[in-house]
Structure 1
Amino acid sequence: MMLANSLQYSTIPCRKHLVSVIALIALVLITVCSTQLICIDYQHPNSTMCYSRDELLQMRSEVTMKLPTNLWQYITSLGIRSEPIIRRGRRGGKRHPRVPPVVDTDADQYSPIPTIIGNRPKPNELQTPRYATCTNLRQLPHYGTMDSKLNVCLWNAQSLGNKTVLLVDYMLEHDIDIMILTETWLRDDDRVIIGESTPPGYSFLNISRPNNARGGGIAIIFKTPLNLSLRKSQCVTKYFESACITDNANRLNLVAIYRPPPSPENRFRHSDFIAEFDNFVDDISILPGKMLLVGDFNVHWDRPDKSDVIQFSNIITSANLMQHVDRPTHTYGHILDHVFTVSDDNLVLNCTVDESFIADRVKVKHHCVHFNVNLEKPLPERVTQVLRNYKDINDSDFENSLSQHFNDIPLFENPGDIFDWYNQVVRATLDELAPATTRSRSIRCRMPWYNNSVHQSRQERRRKERKWRKSRSENDRLEFTEANKNVKTNITIAKKDYFGTKLHNASTKEVFQVMNQLLNNQGDLFHLTMILLISAISLLISL
């Protein structure tokens, strides 16, 4: 039995699921017809499709079937196809009703691709646009990184005289803002060692032992923009050395201490140190600003059961101070170098111990203690440069522009005016063809004798250091030590070549300037010595 024109556009209901519609039609056909084959015409000469009774029974809601492509296209053209619900990508808030699509009646009726005109509203029509203004922006709190805080290092040098080259290289490589040295063994007249230990852009404060006695000594090497100065203390100590450093704003009181261990030579007793240190802590606690107490106390903090450590820790606890070093700072596994701050100040952010500083010929027993102070780093010195892109200048345009100016040369009575006019013409031509641009850059603190050989040796040392830190083997440590010695050798050779060339090509006045730089002479105390030295050099050259 054939059903011709049994399905009309007006009689087909718009249901949510197409399968339910087909199942309903199948039940009606089963009850009315007893035939085994049903044919449906979709008003197209080539679109007649036949279904059996069993096939219609399978088109129930509980059975999922994939309809033919031409049937899906026809159902879509009628506008009764159910779209899947997609939750992804929708914004929260009020739901706006969606306008149903409209079938384009002007399109070809038998076109295989139906045309549907959608009425989906644009996002701008649903809500008013929002723009980023100062009224609707919420300012987030700023958390400074460790790179923006003061980088401070504490180290017991045990004689600075033979470690100046490696010390300067270490400070520049790690960008140390404040270097605190104990047991420098320096005197007030050691100008050469002080000059060699001061990198470009840094200042040196030397606090030697009273009466220039041998041994001991404290030194502070800091970046010049910090503008640190030595605070005069009324507390005179006998059993330990101290130095109090502060800035102009009195924000920080950096107190460095070196306590020599008791020995038969100095006849120092631990009880005398405890009594004197207790009074010293009371005096520095009343100073304005935050307190940072560092140094080599020669107290084994890792042995809390010892009597001297118990007495020392009682003073620290009563002053509400906190210890930040928790790793051994000595090669024998003891914590001798300490960093103390007031518990409520939150002054020290992190504290680490670095074992990579290895000097040749002399075994370094103390490790470097690194920590960040919760104060902003000094801004690097910047220089402004004027640049021109000379590569964009066309030679013919440049010649034509200059020839036009030179065709009408004014008459000048003074020869200097001619040079001024010429400079103005050339500058105006360059501004026209290659405009000047300004660029600001920061000045890097680097030694003037830094060359490619030093750069490559430092790269090799860093590679050996990473390998040793990863493996911790004795062979890798020896390779790192040799790489460190190679860096010092290359720096020494580069430094000799630099000053040798500079003295060879210098005039008499420049020779004095170079000698002042080598001897770290900033006054007129050594003029006679330099004159004698220059005379001796001139005599040797003449011979």
Structure 2
Amino acid sequence: MAARIHYSREELLALRYTTSLQSQHCTYARQASCRLQQLIRRRRPRGKRAGRRHYKIKVVVNVFPRQNFYDFHHCSSPSVSKSNLRQVRMISSTNSKRHISCTLWNARSIEKKLPAVADSILQNNTDLFIVTETWFNALDDTVKARFSSILPGHSIHQVPRTRRKGGGTAVIGKANLQVTLNKSSPFKTFEILDANVRLSSAMIRLLVIYRPPNSCKHTVSDFLNEFTHLLEVILHAKGNLIIVGDFNIHVDDLRDRDALKFVDCLNSFGLEQHVQFSTHDKGHTLDLIITRSSDTFISTITNDWLLPSDHASLHFNIMSNAPPPSTIMRTSRRLRNVNLDNLKEMLSSSLSILPSDDKSATHMAENYNDLLRAAIDNLAPPVTKVFINKQRAPWYTIELIDERKKLRRLERKWKTTGLVVHKDIFKAARSVYSGKLHEMHAKYHRERIQNADQKSLFTIIDDMIGNKKIIARMLPDIDISELPNTFAKFFRSKIAKIRHGLPSVVPSDFYTLNHCLSSFTPVSIDFVSKLINTLPPKSCGPTHCQPVY
């Protein structure tokens, strides 16, 4: 057990009456002195011989935080043990864990608004971006590839409208979120995306619904019949239920009969609608967020109009801890630390062991590659490190950040005044900002391609394409053995079409060459070596075909 150090009354009072306290630590020192004085007054003195009184109080100094710790080395008393005064790390009372950030938005064609969506995800650190009216079709895999090049580390799950244009729902989630789509039966009056979002502490059953406006074919009564059938099935499912989307019902209008029927339907199933402000440009509440009345995992809902659409984007948090960020593993070698003398010595000693009777160039090259790889592994072994896969958008510049600040300022002014002129000014600025997003994104990739060499060009194209599996599904299904012949046939037919389209011009004079090649100058080994070294480094796997001379 460690020995306790005791302080006398005079030594403790020296801490109180010191004159060299710094101004920024006076508050902490005053609190400490007041506490010490209270401890002294509580202790009654005991009688000692010769009338002397001694005070021994056990003290633990834990007042000063780590960054504002006061230096007690100025104390004049030589009997004070300065090494006993230690810094105590203060524990913050705030919770550092982050909740799931979600956004709901009606896009009305998301194809030309992907940079704006990426901008919103970056600025709000959105984990789950929910979109209605994507206007996707079944063959729009290029949009997924394009979004992967704009903002990597995200995945798109969609349910497109197949029979006609428009409609469609989608969910854009981070790579660390486990989102799986469930099979659901089709409905005539609305479109639905049914997904499970698995979090660290809960499982969310997410339903994204888009209901088209009223028409002669489908009315609100028809929608309520199908929606009631859906709720009867889905309410018995496990997990927390969230129903979001564009319902095209004016739930803010208490005189609307269709809205009252819809609200009564929600109340009869024990559901609650959380959006209490207008979400459409005309002032009505069309985009809704619905949960069970007993659930309290949805935080305060906010909105903004920064995305180019006639619908506002709704932001809300799911009160569950966000999963840890996704990680990537990278393997590298420290080739700069390789000693060339040691490498030469290892190669010379290894080459002397190789059999000299092997006359096959392929076997000799393979043996040399194996020896070189073993030497490199010995001198610079591969090191694997784990990195956090952070969101990166290199095309997003400081200029765009400044423009977004101006746009937010105009939005606040419009919301404060409510004037139509401020609304028009904000819309015009939003269109300019959306155009700049497209411009900066195209400029970034254009400069990458222009400044790339032959090697890095293929890597840049792969980054722009995104997921190669998506592009592979778009290519025609051709047997790989017939692929070269198919390419050759395509180019031959293309050249034939070009020649057929050119006018037939017969030259008046024909020229003939009377010269012929009769002798060749032999080349030296240095010339051939120089010619080979100037060629670009290319490699291919070993072939089974033997050259014929």
TM over 0.5: yes
What is the rounded CA distance, in whole Å, between the counterparts of 1:356 and 1:510 in structure 2? 31
Equivalent residue in structure 1 for 2:407, among 455, 459, 465: 465
- Do 1:164 and 1:197's aligned partners in 2 also have CA atoms closer than 8 Å? yes
* SS of corresponding position for 1:278: helix
Q: Which residue of 2 aligns with 1:168?
A: 118
Q: Which residue of 1 aligns with 2:514?
A: none
Q: Which residue of 1 aligns with 2:43?
A: 96
- Do 1:503 and 1:511's aligned partners in 2 also have CA atoms closer than 8 Å? no
1:268/1:90 Cα in 2 relative to 1: closer, same or farther (>3 Å)?
A: same
- Matched to 2:405, the amino acid is R
- How far is 1:416 from its partner? 6.8
1:516/1:481 Cα in 2 relative to 1: closer, same or farther (>3 Å)?
A: closer
What is the rounded CA distance, in whole Å, between the counterparts of 2:488 and 2:237 in structure 1? 48
1:273/1:457 Cα in 2 relative to 1: closer, same or farther (>3 Å)?
A: same
1:499/1:304 Cα in 2 relative to 1: closer, same or farther (>3 Å)?
A: farther
What is the rounded CA distance, in whole Å, between the counterparts of 2:209 and 2:331 in structure 1? 48
Tell whether 2:219 aligns with 1:274: no
- Matched to 1:180, the amino acid is I
- How far is 1:263 from its partner? 2.7
Q: Which residue of 1 aligns with 2:181?
A: 230
What is the rounded CA distance, in whole Å, between the counterparts of 1:366 and 1:416 in structure 2? 62
What is the rounded CA distance, in whole Å, between the counterparts of 2:142 and 2:184 in structure 1? 28
Tell whether 2:326 aligns with 1:381: yes
Tell whether 2:256 aligns with 1:310: no
- Do 2:211 and 2:247's aligned partners in 1 also have CA atoms closer than 8 Å? yes
- How far is 1:506 from its partner? 6.4
- How far is 1:343 from its partner? 1.5
- Do 1:191 and 1:519's aligned partners in 2 also have CA atoms closer than 8 Å? no
- Matched to 1:215, the amino acid is G
- Matched to 1:96, the amino acid is R
Percent identity between the aligned chains? Answer: 22
Measured on the aligned residues, the alpha-carbon RMSD in Å equals 4.8
**Equivalent runs, 1:317-336 vs 2, <5 Å:** 317-336=267-286
- Matched to 1:168, the amino acid is A
* SS of corresponding position for 2:101: strand
What is the rounded CA distance, in whole Å, between the counterparts of 2:261 and 2:455 in structure 1? 63
- Matched to 1:495, the amino acid is H
Listed one character per residue, the Cα deviations across residues 476-502 of structure 1 (whole Å, up to 9, x for unaligned) are: 664454334223211122234435666
- How far is 1:333 from its partner? 1.2
1:327/1:513 Cα in 2 relative to 1: closer, same or farther (>3 Å)?
A: closer
- Matched to 1:446, the amino acid is R
What is the rounded CA distance, in whole Å, between the counterparts of 1:175 and 1:521 in structure 2? 28
Listed one character per residue, the Cα deviations across residues 351-375 of structure 1 (whole Å, up to 9, x for unaligned) are: 11121113xxxxx200111111123
What is the rounded CA distance, in whole Å, between the counterparts of 2:127 and 2:119 in structure 1? 14
- Do 1:461 and 1:484's aligned partners in 2 also have CA atoms closer than 8 Å? no
Q: Which residue of 2 aligns with 1:65?
A: none
What is the rounded CA distance, in whole Å, between the counterparts of 2:488 and 2:261 in structure 1? 56
Which ranges of structure 1 fall in alignment gaps of 5 or more residues? Answer: 1-85, 104-116, 126-139, 359-363, 429-435
* Higher Cα radius of gyration: 1
- Do 2:330 and 2:386's aligned partners in 1 also have CA atoms closer than 8 Å? yes
What is the rounded CA distance, in whole Å, between the counterparts of 1:319 and 1:189 in structure 2? 38
* SS of corresponding position for 2:443: helix
* SS of corresponding position for 1:366: coil
Q: Which residue of 2 aligns with 1:200?
A: 152
Q: Which residue of 1 aligns with 2:398?
A: 456
* SS of corresponding position for 2:207: strand
1:464/1:122 Cα in 2 relative to 1: closer, same or farther (>3 Å)?
A: same
Tell whether 2:128 aligns with 1:158: no
1:282/1:502 Cα in 2 relative to 1: closer, same or farther (>3 Å)?
A: farther
1:478/1:228 Cα in 2 relative to 1: closer, same or farther (>3 Å)?
A: same
- How far is 1:223 from its partner? 1.9
* SS of corresponding position for 2:405: helix
* SS of corresponding position for 2:471: coil
- Matched to 1:328, the amino acid is S
- How far is 1:170 from its partner? 2.1
1:241/1:306 Cα in 2 relative to 1: closer, same or farther (>3 Å)?
A: same
TM-score for the superposition, normalised by structure 1: 0.61
* SS of corresponding position for 2:300: strand
* SS of corresponding position for 1:239: coil
* SS of corresponding position for 1:521: helix
- How far is 1:97 from its partner? 3.1
What is the rounded CA distance, in whole Å, between the counterparts of 2:379 and 2:327 in structure 1? 29
* SS of corresponding position for 1:162: helix
- How far is 1:524 from its partner? 6.7
Q: Which residue of 2 aligns with 1:213?
A: 164
Equivalent residue in structure 2 for 1:445, among 379, 386, 391: 391
**Equivalent runs, 1:372-521 vs 2, <5 Å:** 372-383=317-328, 413-414=353-354, 419=372, 423=376, 441-447=387-393, 450-451=394-395, 454-472=396-414, 473=422, 475=425, 478-479=428-429, 481-498=431-448, 505=455, 520-521=470-471
What is the rounded CA distance, in whole Å, between the counterparts of 1:93 and 1:215 in structure 2? 80
- Do 1:467 and 1:476's aligned partners in 2 also have CA atoms closer than 8 Å? no
What is the rounded CA distance, in whole Å, between the counterparts of 2:380 and 2:49 in structure 1? 70
Q: Which residue of 1 aligns with 2:517?
A: none
Q: Which residue of 2 aligns with 1:182?
A: 132
1:534/1:226 Cα in 2 relative to 1: closer, same or farther (>3 Å)?
A: farther
- How far is 1:335 from its partner? 0.7
Listed one character per residue, the Cα deviations across residues 314-362 of structure 1 (whole Å, up to 9, x for unaligned) are: 011111111111121111111100000011121212211121113xxxx
- Matched to 1:228, the amino acid is V
1:144/1:165 Cα in 2 relative to 1: closer, same or farther (>3 Å)?
A: same
Q: Which residue of 2 aligns with 1:344?
A: 294
- Matched to 1:302, the amino acid is D
Q: Which residue of 2 aligns with 1:121?
A: 56
What is the rounded CA distance, in whole Å, between the counterparts of 2:462 and 2:387 in structure 1? 32
TM-score for the superposition, normalised by structure 2: 0.61
* SS of corresponding position for 1:123: coil
**Equivalent runs, 1:13-24 vs 2, <5 Å:** none
* SS of corresponding position for 1:189: coil
- How far is 1:470 from its partner? 4.4
Name the count of aligned residue pairs: 403
- Do 2:335 and 2:380's aligned partners in 1 also have CA atoms closer than 8 Å? no
